[in-house]
Amino acid sequence: MGRMIVALIALPVAMGAGVFKIAAAENCIIGDSALCAANPNCHWAYKLRGCYPGPLPRQDPCVVHEDRTVCDTDTSLGCKWNAEGSKCQKAN
């Protein structure tokens, strides 16, 4: 009888632990970019149009400039236009 009571108590505890693990993984299943960005455990991937767990991967800030004029005039990032590659990149 004692084992039965222990089993009945242990079962909900074990199930609850599994639910918390699943909730942590599903915590980033958010369809809104603002809500995703507000969650410190998630990041919004614009190209993939979704919210994903973990921090935002580090990217070169110059890559976002696709126009030569914008690349050369934005002095805050230290970018210069590379004519050979036709892309904006960090100035050395």
The amino acid sitting at 80 is: K
Q: Are residues 41 and 63 in the same domain?
A: no
Same-domain status, 46 and 63: no
Residue type, 43: H
Query: Tokens in use for 56?
Result: 């935002």
Same domain assignment for residues 6 and 47: yes
CB 79 within 8 A of CB 71: yes
- Looking at the structure of the chain, the number of domains it has is 2
Q: Which domain range does residue 40 map to?
A: 1-54
What is the Cα–Cα distance from 81 to 89, expressed in whole angstroms?
6
Say yes or no: 24 and 11 in one domain. Answer: yes
- The answer for residues whose C-beta is within 8 angstroms of residue 91's C-beta and 6 or more apart is 78, 79, 80
pLDDT digit string, tens, across residues 9-67: 765 655 554 443 344 446 899 889 899 989 999 999 888 889 999 988 877 888 888 88
Would you say 28 and 39 are in contact if contact means Cβ atoms under 8 Å apart?
yes
76 pLDDT more than 90: no
